[in-house]
Amino acid sequence: MPNLAFAGLLDGGWRDLAFEPFRDGVAAHWLLRGGPLEPSVAVLRYQPGAGVPRHRHAGLETIVVLEGTQSDENGDYPAGSVILNPVGTEHSVWTQDGCFVLIQWNLPVIILGETK
């Protein structure tokens, strides 16, 4: 497979992407959709008040907040923030006003509980 390139993505090109349902209140545009034991990369669109229940990271997860603010038990992350969630870490994620994030994970997360 050749490399994948997404010109202009971080300059707002993500606003024009087609999104599909991912979780309640969260839609995804897959840049690379891996299998159960493969990495994935997506742009996620969170509706205001949406979140992801408490989960454990089975592999490294990297998030770049493109617009809005994403929050977890450790704080609030406004646009421009880079968040690294190493293997074994746990948290839940939410957004008060909605946000867009670029996310890469090496392995799918393990859902543990309800959103805050």
Q: Which CATH architecture has domain 19-98?
A: Sandwich (2.60)
The domains of the chain are located at 19-98
Q: Give tens-digit pLDDT for 67-101.
A: 999 999 999 999 999 999 999 999 999 999 999 99
Dihedral sign, Cα of residue 35, residue 36, residue 39, residue 44: positive
Type of residue numbered 42: A
Q: 95 versus 7: which is more confidently predicted?
A: 95
pLDDT band per the 50, 70, 90 thresholds, residue 116:
very low
Type of residue numbered 36: P
State the pTM of this model.
0.92
Report residue 20 as tokens: 């599909």
Q: Give tens-digit pLDDT for 31-45.
A: 999 888 889 999 999
